[in-house]
């Protein structure tokens, strides 16, 4: 027999109460059919055999008393996910066995091992694929309930599909409800995503960097342990998080990256390696882009957490309607007094693809990159994607813009998150984690190209050491080996070009050898520029300036105007000019271009090149007044034009 107690019962009072109060029935109405004291005692010995009604309390037939030994009247334990007035959103590991009309008790543990105190009682109003909606039916509906309290479900029969029958004269019968449809005024309709949205808007947080220039999304997977799930590329910038529709802010104190996090090495922006270290490079958007954040212990308790779908549930989501909650970059504007407001969107799962690093022949059900339709924008990265029953099945992570203007959205299936939790021994910190997990799926081997690139970098370091000591033969041998090892790596060619440049200045060479060195250096600069453009999709201005400078040397030694034409083509490219004029070396860029045009004018005896050279050098002097080298170059341009006979000496 159970007694209703208040949360404020002190330990000594509870002990005294339990020791001296006689065993008798509670006078309050029960959440199910009312029973006499004798009937209640009999219920402890044997479960009720009558169907449990969903309506307000009514009289029920007496259960038969048997001689069987007493057994637990409870079917399962559970938890409260949300409280809305007298309605609760509940969950349990035995959700599938809990039918509408089943009764439950909300209780708390008393201190010093004094047992439990029942705070309220109620009935299950609906069970939507494991998401339970409960209605408080006990007399004291003003009891203060919270998600920190526990729930236990009594053994009972499911309600019939027919309308509830009761004596209409009974004063306790306030309304009759059919089992097919239960209306709870305080709670949004459970069909669709509304219940999940109401719950998860308190579990979704905005992630900020230290300078408040970039942001992403994360969601709570453990309130108690302050754990959030997000993307690896969001974790790279994560410094603080902000609770939705508030200014409550928490610092990020720890980050775990998925063991299969792939990063594009910053050296060549091509080689992808498995690494959890942000210093290696940026996260590869085609890989397992997942991370877990832990927040500082200071600050208010986190108000809510999501429910992760079981790994097996996540395998059959193609065609499912999904909802996503996060912070798109185009609009996080919130009301006054709030930092940001999350946005809810819907879509449909389209297909499953393999993640980068996994075998090409991977079984479809094991492919964890999810393609889905629906709005997706930067800032949504790390958002939870869930079914209409509230179970999170995917973590959003990327969007691709197609040539026709449409977008393709991608996410990582939640079973990859479960693998990560198991790898870092965090599974036991997650409520309702499955008792058994399938075998995790991880990338077995590192990309072999990583070892080659690292070997080439080591060879370059050896070459620099030889070069510094004047050991040029050993230096260039090491650079040749580096080129053979990683021929795609642009910096090998840039480094080799500069080494050749310095070799010319440190060793006495014949004019022919000097010209050959300049030609070799020019070819290396050209190769470095080509590979850098391929790797980063941008032109590197310093490489281009070195290319132009070396073109002048080659042209003067070989009297070759073709290399000058190649140089001027690069220096007059509109994108190159834009970058040059936006940087600090605009004056040097103009002076170098003026020199190329001067040499073209000299070799071709064409006044238009000299005119262009004068215009460039005058602009360089305007940008950097008093620069002696620029003034000397201007005088050189005029003198060369006079010697070429294209202008009079008096002009």
This prediction has a pTM of 0.61
List CB contacts of 590: < 8 A, sequence separation 6 or more. 616, 617, 619, 620, 623
pLDDT, residue 15, reads 39
316-375 pLDDT tens trace: 899 999 999 999 876 676 666 667 889 999 999 999 999 888 888 888 888 999 999 888
Contact 510, 532 (CB under 8 A): no
pLDDT for 203: 94
Portion of the chain with pLDDT greater than 90, in percent = 47
Q: What is the pLDDT of residue 192?
A: 76
Q: How far apart are CA 441 and CA 518, in angstroms?
A: 53
Backbone angles phi, psi at 301, to 5 degrees: -60, 145
Q: Is the pLDDT of residue 646 over 60?
A: yes
For residue 431, give every residue at least 6 positions away whose Cβ sits within 8 Å of its Cβ, in sequence order, or none. 79, 222, 305, 307
Q: What is the mean pLDDT of the chain?
A: 80
Under DSSP, is residue 146 helix (H, G, I), strand (E, B) or coil? coil
- pLDDT of 485: 94
For 39-72, write each residue's pLDDT tens digit.
333 333 333 333 323 223 333 334 444 444 556 7
The whole-number pLDDT of residue 199 equals: 86
DSSP per-residue string spanning 156-197: -BPPPSSPPP--TT-TT------TT----TTS--SSTTHHHH
Q: How far apart are CA 469 and CA 481, in angstroms?
A: 19
Summarize pLDDT for 123-176 with one digit per residue, the tens: 988 887 667 888 888 866 557 788 888 899 887 644 333 333 334 443 333 333
Upper half-sphere CA count for residue 152 (Cβ side, 13 Å): 14
Residue 584 exposed, middle or buried by CB count within 10 Å (0-12, 13-18, 19+): exposed
Beta pairing class for 343-353 and 321-326: antiparallel
Give the side-chain half-sphere CA count within 13 A for 566.
Answer: 17
Residue 614 confidence (pLDDT): 95
556: which 2 tokens? Answer: 């003067």
Which residue is it, tokens 């055999």? 49
pLDDT confidence band for 35 (50 / 70 / 90): very low
Q: What CATH topology corresponds to 196-429?
A: Thrombin, subunit H (2.40.10)
What pLDDT is attached to residue 531? 92
For residue 19, count CB atoms less than 10 angstroms from its CB and return exposed for 0-12, middle for 13-18, buried for 19 or more: exposed
| pLDDT value at residue 403 | 79
Per the CB < 8 A criterion, the answer to whether 597 and 568 are in contact is yes
Q: Note the pLDDT of residue 8.
A: 37
pLDDT at 70: 53
**What pLDDT sits at residue 336?**
63
The pLDDT of residue 211 is 83
- Specify the pLDDT at position 167: 40
Mean pLDDT in residue range 536-555? 90
- The domain 448-643 belongs to what CATH superfamily? Tetratricopeptide repeat domain (1.25.40.10)
Q: For residues 584-603, give the mean pLDDT.
A: 93
* pLDDT computed for residue 175 by the predictor: 34
Distances in Å between the Cα of 405 and the Cα atoms of 99, 374, 408 are 48, 14, 10
Q: What is the pLDDT of residue 142?
A: 55
Q: Give 44's contacts (C-beta < 8 A, 6+ positions apart).
A: 1, 70, 73
Domain boundaries, the chain: 11-184, 196-429, 448-643
- Predicted confidence at residue 331, as pLDDT, reads 67
Residue 574 in tokens: 């509109």
Say what percent of the chain tops pLDDT 70: 80
Residue 256 pLDDT > 90: yes
Asked whether the beta carbons of 229 and 415 are under 8 A apart, the reply is no
Question: pLDDT digits over 472-512, tens only?
Answer: 999 999 999 999 999 999 999 999 999 999 999 999 999 99
CB of 59 closer than 8 Å to CB of 398 = no
| Contact partners, residue 169, CB within 8 Å, separation at least 6 | none
Tell me the C-alpha distance between 474 and 462, whole Å. Answer: 9
- pLDDT 10s digits, 70-128: 567 788 888 888 887 788 888 887 877 888 888 989 888 877 667 788 888 889 888 87
pLDDT of residue 44: 37
């Amino acid at each position: 027999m159970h007694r209703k107690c208040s949360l404020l019962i002190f330990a000594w009072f509870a002990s005294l109460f339990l020791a001296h109060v006689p065993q008798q029935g509670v006078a309050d109405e029960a959440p199910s059919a009312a029973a006499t004291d004798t009937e209640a005692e009999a219920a402890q010995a044997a479960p009720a055999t009558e169907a449990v009604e969903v309506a307000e309390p009514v009289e029920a037939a007496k259960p038969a008393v048997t001689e069987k030994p007493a057994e637990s009247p409870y079917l399962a334990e559970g938890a409260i996910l949300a409280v809305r007035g007298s309605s609760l959103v509940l969950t349990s590991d035995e959700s599938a066995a809990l039918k509408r009309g089943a009764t439950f008790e909300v209780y708390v543990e008393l201190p010093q091992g004094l047992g439990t105190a029942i705070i309220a009682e109620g009935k299950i109003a609906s069970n939507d694929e494991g998401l339970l909606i409960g209605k408080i039916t006990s007399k004291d509906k003003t009891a203060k309930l919270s998600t920190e309290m526990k729930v236990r479900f009594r053994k009972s029969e499911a309600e019939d599909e027919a309308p509830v029958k009761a004596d209409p004269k009974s004063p306790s019968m306030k309304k009759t409800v059919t089992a097919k449809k239960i209306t709870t005024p305080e709670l949004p309709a459970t069909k669709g995503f509304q219940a999940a949205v109401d719950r998860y808007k308190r579990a979704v947080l905005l992630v900020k960097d230290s300078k408040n220039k970039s942001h992403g999304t994360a969601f709570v997977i453990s309130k108690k342990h302050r754990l959030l799930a997000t993307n690896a590329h969001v974790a790279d910038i994560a410094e603080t998080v902000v609770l939705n529709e508030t200014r409550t802010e928490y610092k990020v104190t720890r980050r775990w990256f998925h063991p299969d996090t792939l990063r594009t090495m910053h050296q060549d922006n091509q080689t992808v390696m498995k690494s959890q270290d942000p210093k290696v490079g940026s996260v590869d958007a085609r890989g397992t882009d997942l991370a877990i954040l832990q927040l500082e212990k200071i600050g208010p308790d986190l108000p809510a957490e999501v429910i992760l779908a079981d790994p097996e549930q996540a395998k059959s989501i193609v065609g499912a309607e999904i909802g996503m909650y996060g912070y798109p970059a185009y609009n996080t504007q919130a009301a006054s007094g709030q930092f940001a407001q999350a946005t809810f969107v819907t879509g449909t799962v389209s297909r499953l693809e393999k993640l980068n690093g996994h075998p090409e022949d991977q079984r479809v059900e094991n492919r964890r990159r999810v393609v889905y339709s629906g709005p997706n924008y930067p800032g949504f990265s790390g958002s939870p994607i869930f079914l209409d029953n509230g179970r999170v099945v995917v973590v959003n992570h990327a969007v691709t813009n197609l040539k026709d203007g449409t977008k393709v959205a991608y996410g990582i299936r939640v079973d990859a998150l479960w693998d990560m939790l198991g790898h870092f021994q965090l599974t036991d910190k997650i409520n309702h984690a499955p008792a058994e997990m399938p075998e995790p799926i991880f990338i077995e081997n590192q990309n072999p190209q990583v070892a080659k690139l690292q070997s080439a970098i080591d060879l370059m370091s050896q070459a620099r050491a030889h070069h510094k000591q004047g050991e040029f033969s050993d230096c260039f041998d090491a650079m040749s080996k580096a080129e053979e090892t990683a021929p795609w790596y642009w910096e090998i060619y840039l480094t080799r070009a500069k080494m050749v440049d310095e070799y010319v200045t440190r060793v006495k060479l014949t004019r022919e050898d000097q010209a050959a060195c300049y030609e070799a250096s020019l070819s290396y600069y050209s190769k470095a520029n080509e590979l850098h453009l391929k790797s980063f999709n941008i032109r590197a201005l310093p490489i281009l300036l070195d290319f132009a400078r070396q073109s002048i040397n080659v042209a003067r030694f070989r009297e070759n105007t073709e290399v000058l034409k190649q140089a001027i083509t690069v220096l007059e490219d509109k994108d190159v000019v834009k970058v040059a004029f936006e940087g600090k070396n605009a004056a040097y860029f103009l002076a170098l271009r003026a020199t190329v045009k001067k040499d073209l004018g000299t070799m071709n005896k064409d006044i238009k090149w000299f005119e262009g050279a004068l215009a460039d050098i005058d602009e360089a002097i305007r940008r950097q007044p008093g620069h002696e080298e620029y003034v000397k170059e201007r005088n050189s341009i005029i003198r060369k034009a006079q010697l070429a006979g294209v202008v009079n000496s008096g002009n």
